[in-house]
Structure 1
Amino acid sequence: MDLPVAPTPLTWLPRRRWTLAAVALAAAALTAAIWLWGTPSGARLRYLAADTIITTQHREWAKAVIGERALRERIAAYERRFDDMGRETLQPVRPPLAAIAAPAPETAPLFRVEDIAGEGWSGKLLVVSDPRTIRIGVPGVAGRGEKVSRMMLRLGAEAGVNGGGFADPNWTGNGFKPTGLVLSGGKVFYSDAAPEEEIDVVGFTEQGSIIAGKYTLKDILRMGVKEAVSFRPRLIVNGKGLVKSDDDGWGFAPRTAVAQTADGTVLFAVIDGRQTHSVGATLYDVQQLFLDRGAVVAANLDGGASTVLVTRDAETGFRIENKPATTEGERYLPTAFLVFRQPALARIGNVWEGLDMDKFDPAKW
């Protein structure tokens, strides 16, 4: 009978290494769990991760990080905070119109595009010197939204940034049903609110003052608002930042936001996210970006996969300046802030006129 051969140390070595690796991995996992669920810094990281997940189409996944009850409480807390941020009395910017009274010559630039970046994020800044060159564009055909590039070319604009919110079931909406208000050329194109109901508004008066916050439709028309969409929250009011820290920054995400400095200059921040070159920015990041550039009023706009900046290109027709967080390059949207050389001549029609939007299905293409 053959006797068993005693294993050599070399035979046992791989097994020992796997055992040690498994023990080390289990110890690391246990340590991480204790830190994440048992320390203030770990809890901060979990809630920051949850906020980031909440801004995506997989909001429910945040339950695995903070629990279902905490998720509901977190979302409700943000809604209350955003409501509060929209109600502080706003002192509108008074642009020195005498300095920008004459239309820009055909050869003069209407805007400039700058690179911007921070810790973990990068994007573009659209700087518009005359706020009166900005109009709200809407789709040209009823039934679905329109890409900003197509909207810009069709209406003869020189640049465009995505605008307000819209009904977006499971993040697959057709982009045609706005939420809140759409105002273009001083005319109400769309409103799902009663005249006395407060809604979140971001827009410009005929004199070029930015308006942001919670107002009734009567307030908006009384203030002479000419171009507006709905989104929130406000980030800066009367030169004061409203987002206290990254902890209140709604996680990392692609962001679009707008601000105005004391001389009337308009700043559109378009920040990439959910990509290797740019994870995304918090609302606090955007706020600080604007404060560093002298903004006195600022507000958040629709972000995520909607975030896009488009400019006119002599050779290709248009150029997408940022890198949208979607494989399609651009989403179909209901509104955009467009920059025109002759804004008064832009033929922007009310595509929702006569439609019963209560019967419209925003999920059907």
Structure 2
Amino acid sequence: MSTSSLPQRSTVRKKKPTKRRKKRSFFRTLSKVFLFCFILLIAGGGWFYFAPSAKNLRYSIADTLITTQHRYMAKYIIGEDGLKDRVTEYSSLFEEMGVEKDTHTITPEPEEVKEKPLVEIENVSGTGYSGYVMIVNDPTKVRLGIPNKVGSGEKVTSMVKRTGAIAGVNGGGFADPNWKGNGFKPIGIVISQGKLYYNGLGGKKSTQIVGLDKQGKMVAGNYSLDEINKMGVQEAVTFSPRLIVNGKGLIKNAAEGWGIAPRTAMGQRADGAIIFVVIDGRQPTYSIGANLYDVQQILLKHGAVIAANLDGGSSTVLVKDNEIMNKPSSQYGERYLPTAFLVFEHPEQVDMPNIWKGLDPSKIDAAKKRTH
């Protein structure tokens, strides 16, 4: 047999791809990936900024930024004019939410039926948020706590310990330059023990308050100082918006919920029990936060017939038995505040001296350094 008719093994070896060819192939693949991502980014950006279907998302992100110290960044989402319009829109909406006359009444349970502890705390959670609901079964046991040193606010933990309170949550807002305020200059008014302790209205005839009258009935809404006096308001701060009035929620949906943030709110059931809602936020691995619609729904679920928002954000804190129950978001730790709602076994024994007495609100330095 001829050797030429037998299958021959090729003596020509295929060249292995060189490192240069491998590198070119890698960069071609990488460039395709980058091109795909770029196209996706352009398409996504186009949808986010221009598509009607993305409007709610745009405003939700903008509203969330508005509640932070980075409010200015919202203009990159909805434009500078959009930012101004949004803030004006919410201000107008919050004013409207405080107008309807509150007609709720409370009917406390008979003493012989009461077997519940004064304070009950439960966990609450939902999509993206975690927090607590604190029920105070006797509304007459709640008093407004204020600082004890001129020139500085006070931590709620300090107020609770100093006054012998059982529990406490943060109260009204305050002037906070560069988000590093000393917590001593409240916004609006402060009423303690039935007396006007602080008046920062600057000529305004009315303000939105959150508080309690002598009988323990919650008061929330837009009132003049004369109306507040005639109603016998005992403890109150300025804050808004009112969330529930006469048993119905005032926020229609999440789109009107003023973004996602840590929240504190106060409500009351028909039996008089006070409901405090404290929601943590700005902590992605734990709790991002809640919008006001979420908070409203929690309050309604717990039977609130009236409710209002309190200062939130990095001020949000819940203290029970001298310990912080929640996880405040402030990078500086628990904040110094001008007011807090405190719960006492014997509130009649508590005295809160007026540290603002004789001071001109317009001359209080909100950014003055603390000495303690």
**TM beyond 0.5:** yes
* Candidates 30, 46, 51, aligned match of 1:39: 51
Deviation (angstroms), 1:6: 8.1
Name the TM-score, length of structure 1 as normaliser.
0.93
Aligned-partner Cα distance in 1 for 2:177–2:222? 24
Post-superposition Cα deviations, 1:83-105, rounded to whole Å, max 9, x if no partner, equal: 00010111133232x62599x99
- CA 1:152–1:22 in 2, change beyond 3 Å: closer, same or farther? same
* Candidates 96, 99, 116, aligned match of 2:110: 99
Q: Spell out the pairing of 1:266-305 with structure 2 (5 A cutoff).
A: 266-276=274-284, 277-305=286-314
Deviation (angstroms), 1:37: 2.0
Determine the structure 2 residue equivalent to 1:246. 254
- CA 1:40–1:191 in 2, change beyond 3 Å: closer, same or farther? same
* Candidates 165, 170, 185, aligned match of 1:162: 170
Deviation (angstroms), 1:26: 0.8
* Candidates 319, 323, 344, aligned match of 2:323: 319
- CA 1:195–1:20 in 2, change beyond 3 Å: closer, same or farther? closer
* Candidates 27, 51, 64, aligned match of 1:15: 27
Moved over 3 A (4+): 5-9
Q: Spell out the pairing of 1:1-365 with structure 2 (5 A cutoff).
A: 9-96=21-108, 99-100=110-111, 109-193=117-201, 197-276=205-284, 277-312=286-321, 318-365=322-369
Aligned-partner Cα distance in 1 for 2:201–2:178? 23
Deviation (angstroms), 1:109: 3.1
What letter matches 2:312 in structure 1? G
- CA 1:275–1:217 in 2, change beyond 3 Å: closer, same or farther? same
Aligned-partner Cα distance in 2 for 1:282–1:180? 24
Aligned-partner Cα distance in 1 for 2:237–2:18? 79
Q: Is the 8 A contact 1:63 1:71 kept in 2?
A: yes
How many residue pairs match? The answer is: 352
Aligned-partner Cα distance in 2 for 1:26–1:196? 53
Aligned-partner Cα distance in 2 for 1:249–1:210? 23
Question: What secondary structure does 2:307 align onto?
Answer: strand
Question: What secondary structure does 1:183 align onto?
Answer: strand
Deviation (angstroms), 1:113: 1.1
What letter matches 1:321 in structure 2? M
Aligned-partner Cα distance in 2 for 1:91–1:100? 25
Aligned-partner Cα distance in 2 for 1:272–1:147? 17
Question: What secondary structure does 2:172 align onto?
Answer: coil
What letter matches 1:198 in structure 2? S
Aligned-partner Cα distance in 2 for 1:110–1:93? 21
Post-superposition Cα deviations, 1:196-233, rounded to whole Å, max 9, x if no partner, equal: 71101000011111000000111111011101111000
Aligned-partner Cα distance in 2 for 1:262–1:115? 22
Aligned-partner Cα distance in 1 for 2:169–2:52? 39
- CA 1:87–1:100 in 2, change beyond 3 Å: closer, same or farther? farther
Aligned-partner Cα distance in 2 for 1:198–1:231? 12
Aligned-partner Cα distance in 2 for 1:65–1:12? 39
Question: What secondary structure does 2:104 align onto?
Answer: coil
Which structure has the larger Rg? 2
Q: Is the 8 A contact 2:200 2:361 kept in 1?
A: no
Aligned-partner Cα distance in 1 for 2:27–2:141? 71
Determine the structure 2 residue equivalent to 1:315. none
What letter matches 1:94 in structure 2? I
Q: Percent identity?
A: 49
- CA 1:100–1:166 in 2, change beyond 3 Å: closer, same or farther? farther
Question: What secondary structure does 1:281 align onto?
Answer: coil
Deviation (angstroms), 1:7: 7.5
Deviation (angstroms), 1:193: 2.7
Q: Is the 8 A contact 2:206 2:223 kept in 1?
A: yes
Aligned-partner Cα distance in 1 for 2:203–2:22? 82
Deviation (angstroms), 1:329: 2.8
What letter matches 1:24 in structure 2? F
Aligned-partner Cα distance in 1 for 2:228–2:203? 10
Deviation (angstroms), 1:10: 2.3
Aligned-partner Cα distance in 2 for 1:8–1:358? 73
Name the TM-score, length of structure 2 as normaliser.
0.91
Aligned-partner Cα distance in 1 for 2:193–2:362? 24
Aligned-partner Cα distance in 2 for 1:259–1:236? 8
